[in-house]
Amino acid sequence: VGGAAVMEAGASGMGLSLVGGEDYLEAGNISDYVLSINGDLTLSMWAQPNSVGSDASWGGALLCYGSNDYYTEDEETNYSYWLSLLSDGTLVGFWEYGSGSNVHLPSTEPSPLFDGEWHHVAMVRDVEAMTVSYFVDGDLLGDPVAFEQLPTGGGRGMLYLGADTPYYLGDYDYAGMLDEVCIYDMVLDDDAVAALAGMGDCEAVIAPEDPDTGT
């Protein structure tokens, strides 16, 4: 945990409170590649934002998986995924391929997240359809957004909540609460996303594999 980020009462149990500036949480104890998901992906969380960075293209990062480009752009420091919120409520998905080429995918409609209430937010990346879909409170937000390139590389990254990677701290601020963050290496359908929005925990919609049966 960095900055003034603390745990407080959230949407369900305890959540992460971020004042802004240089507040963030880093999942730095997870082995390389575990969260470097470059294919099918579902990101799910509860959010109660207060404010986000003023950048019109990037806003405030809800979460991202990537690494710092200290020296130059290269494939291993690519972002595998990023989900941020603009000041007008637009959600933005982002990732990189090749030597740092960008895929930047704003939602086709703004979300109602800045009303002071908790909202469930999800982003689904579908490799077969080559689209990203955004959901708020279990409902599709706007239209699916098409893309042409999947992410590549990203093996040196880590997961960050409430901020971009540390090299860019303060540039893409998110101030508010986050709770029940779930990351799946698969496409969750509309019913599964709705179940998560109904306050199901991360295992409520997809049971973990049984090591004895493989199912």
C-alpha distance from residue 57 to each of 88, 116, 163 (Å) = 11, 23, 15
Annotate 37-50 with DSSP letters as a single string: --SSEEEEEEEEEE
pLDDT digits (tens), the chain, 215 positions: 555 666 676 778 878 887 766 677 778 656 555 788 999 999 999 999 999 988 899 999 999 998 876 667 788 889 999 999 999 999 999 999 999 999 999 999 999 999 999 999 999 999 999 999 999 999 999 999 999 999 999 877 889 998 888 766 667 889 999 999 999 999 999 999 999 999 878 887 776 555 454 44
- Per-residue model confidence (pLDDT) at position 89: 97
- Dihedral in degrees, nearest 10, Cα atoms 13, 172, 134, 46: 10
Q: Would you state the pLDDT for residue 97?
A: 96
**What per-residue confidence (pLDDT) applies to 70?**
62
- Measured CA to CA, the distance from residue 178 to residue 161 in angstroms comes to 8
> What integer pLDDT is reported at residue 48 of this predicted model?
96
Residue 123 corresponds to which amino acid?
Answer: M
Task: Give dist(CA 202, CA 180) in Å, integer.
Answer: 7
* Distance in angstroms (rounded) separating the CA atoms of residues 154 and 39: 12
Q: What is the pLDDT of residue 211?
A: 47
- E strand or H helix at 161, and its extent? strand 158-161
Are the C-beta atoms of residues 60 and 53 closer than 8 Å to each other? yes
The side-by-side arrangement of strands in the sheet containing 60-66 is: 25-27, 158-161, 60-66, 81-85, 91-97, 101-106
